[in-house]
Amino acid sequence: MSSIKQSDIISVLKSEIENYDIKTNVSETGTIIQIGDGIATIYGLENAMYGELVEFETGVHGIVQNLEMKTVGVVLLGSDYGLVEGSKVTRTKKRAGVPVSSSLLGRVVDALGKPIDGKGNIEAEDYYPIENEAPGVVARKSVTVPMQTGIIAIDSMFPIGRGQRELIIGDRQTGKTSIAVDTIINQKKENVVCIYVAIGQKASTVAKIVSTLTKHNALDYTIVVAASASDLAPLQYIAPYSGTAMAEYFMKQGKDVLIVYDDLSKHAVAYRAMSLLLKRPPGREAYPGDVFYLHSRLLERSARLSEEYGGGSITALPIIETLAGDVSAYIPTNVISITDGQIFLESELFFAGIRPAVNVGLSVSRVGGAAQTKAMKKASGSLRIDLAQFREMEIFTQFSAELDKSTKDLLDHGNRLVELLKQPLSKPLPLHEQIILLVSANNKLLLDIPVKEIKKFRNDLIDYFENKYINIIEEINTEKVLTDELISQIVEATKEFKSR
């Protein structure tokens, strides 16, 4: 720092001032005629565009949301302190947007892209409008590359592909955010840029997530966009769009992006508050008429681009919170119909100790199957059907004590599968571990192990493979195909481990 002299700074300032071109400042202005609740009605601004950024006298910005005959309705993106009836408002002639650059990685920013983590300024490389058109039909390509979550229950039964939109839905306290955060942690070696958008959450929750990500060295490739519960409704409304604009910046560079919207129910609530204050007519559950479009235009921007368009992708994991497991409420049904599948989490399972509490019957992934690695497809095989049969049989066992052998085997197998799919927080499993465990389970090698010891058994088994059969692990990771020969090798090795 000592190399910069005071005289240098002064001379730079001097030349800057001398070369300052004094132009007549032509601007288009309007006057506030009514202001309150973060909404201002402006008289004038006759040529203002919908969605345009306007500047108030105090330097606060706003977005034009309503165009009327003589007035425009503007939502404020900051404090209304110091603004009164008669204050001047100036057009900026640009649409609302966020600064984007790769130095955003590892940072926590607000809905306008300004840093809020106290780590200094972010150098902007470009300015992206928050509302952008989704990629068209020509630019897209079908989903073929997996997005590994590291959660065995999801990767085996409801695989997610890059460019897919998979909804995570469930009641409060069922581990929705944990699934998303685990997925981010699992992208460490996958060269995926992650964006976590927190909408209307407690600032303490966001701080906890940031510290979890830091602890697992996952913040380096992650951007956290936070519009917490204390932020204005308009900021909560634009936060997911800002996050997506940042995602698009990376997608255009051909990178794969994972974006988590946590959560869209609160986003809809913020939009409802804003719409009602803008005097738009309320509809069902007092949401405005365009609440479906609100989410569909957001999620439609997730895509996998074809090679000619750079080949990048945006994978979206929107989160929706239900009330008492009611998936037929307004916002849940909307988002379910927009996304390419959902992971349904149940509090009943969660409290029974089955975590992640994925309901196998109601969860589905509509396009992920094509993206699953061949090895995983073969290893997971009949897992879903086995679990479904197990659930069906489990109900019958409550009525009769007498069970024939085949039913008993089915129940034993099912119990062990359920145990196998349990997974602790922030411990994503790599592909090879998932495959070894699934192969040994499908070949009924776990049947003679007591349910309580499954957890220990699987840890020991993986250790054993890592020490003795590193060649099998390498073959799974490089070939990503599960040949019959490889299956028999895994089976033999597991048997060997058990007979020690």
By beta-carbon proximity to another protein, the closer residue of 45 and 160 is 45
By beta-carbon proximity to another protein, the closer residue of 11 and 27 is 27
To which H or E segment does residue 362 belong?
none
From candidates 32, 39, 44, 113, binder to another protein by CB under 8 A: 44
Give the residue carrying structure tokens 């993106």.
77
By beta-carbon proximity to another protein, the closer residue of 3 and 121 is 121
User: Shortest approach of another protein to residue 283 CB, angstroms?
Assistant: 24
Give the residue carrying structure tokens 């800057």.
16
Instruction: Round to the nearest angstrom and report the end-to-end CA distance of the chain.
Output: 65
Number of residues that bind another protein (CB under 8 A): 24
By beta-carbon proximity to another protein, the closer residue of 59 and 136 is 59
Task: Determine whether 366 is an active site residue.
Answer: yes
> Exactly one of 140, 366, 384, 391 is catalytic; which is it?
366
d(C-alpha 181, C-alpha 175), whole Å:
10
Q: Are 431 and 146 in contact (CB under 8 A)?
A: no
How many whole angstroms from its chain centre is CA 256? 13
User: Shortest approach of another protein to residue 91 CB, angstroms?
Assistant: 8
**Nearest to residue 416, comparing CAs of 394, 387, 396?**
387
From candidates 3, 7, 47, 328, binder to another protein by CB under 8 A: 47
User: Shortest approach of another protein to residue 113 CB, angstroms?
Assistant: 12
Q: CA separation (Å) from 357 to 319, 365, 421?
A: 15, 16, 10
Q: CA separation (Å) from 453 to 12, 312, 450, 490, 492?
A: 72, 43, 5, 20, 21
Q: Are 227 and 266 in contact (CB under 8 A)?
A: no
Q: Which of residues 450-479 bind another protein (CB under 8 A)?
A: none
Q: Which of residues 62-81 bind another protein (CB under 8 A)?
A: 68-71
Q: Are 266 and 230 in contact (CB under 8 A)?
A: no
User: Shortest approach of another protein to residue 23 CB, angstroms?
Assistant: 8
In the structure encoding, which two tokens stand for residue 77, read together? 């993106």
- Which residues, listed in sequence order, are joined to residue 224 by a DSSP beta bridge? 108, 196
Strand order in the sheet with 256-262: 108-109, 222-227, 192-199, 256-262, 313-321, 167-170, 341-345, 364-365
**Nearest to residue 87, comparing CAs of 27, 31, 38, 28?**
31
In the structure encoding, which two tokens stand for residue 292, read together? 């479906």
By beta-carbon proximity to another protein, the closer residue of 110 and 171 is 110
Q: Which of residues 136-195 bind another protein (CB under 8 A)?
A: none
By beta-carbon proximity to another protein, the closer residue of 46 and 463 is 46
The interface mask with another protein, positions 11-30, x = CB under 8 A, is --x--xx--x-x-xxxxxxx
User: Shortest approach of another protein to residue 107 CB, angstroms?
Assistant: 16
User: Shortest approach of another protein to residue 175 CB, angstroms?
Assistant: 41
SS3 91: strand
Q: Which conformational region is residue 22 in: left (phi greater than 0), alpha (psi within -120 to 50 degrees), or beta?
A: beta
Q: Which of residues 416-435 bind another protein (CB under 8 A)?
A: none
Task: Determine if 4 is a binding residue for another protein (CB under 8 A).
Answer: no
By beta-carbon proximity to another protein, the closer residue of 100 and 335 is 100
From candidates 49, 124, 277, 388, binder to another protein by CB under 8 A: 124
From candidates 46, 285, 474, 496, binder to another protein by CB under 8 A: 46
SS3 318: strand
User: Shortest approach of another protein to residue 88 CB, angstroms?
Assistant: 8
DSSP 288: B
From candidates 2, 6, 121, 191, binder to another protein by CB under 8 A: 121
User: Shortest approach of another protein to residue 26 CB, angstroms?
Assistant: 6
Active site residues: 366
Which residue ranges make up the site for another protein (CB under 8 A)? 13, 16-17, 20, 22, 24-30, 33, 43-47, 68-71, 121, 124
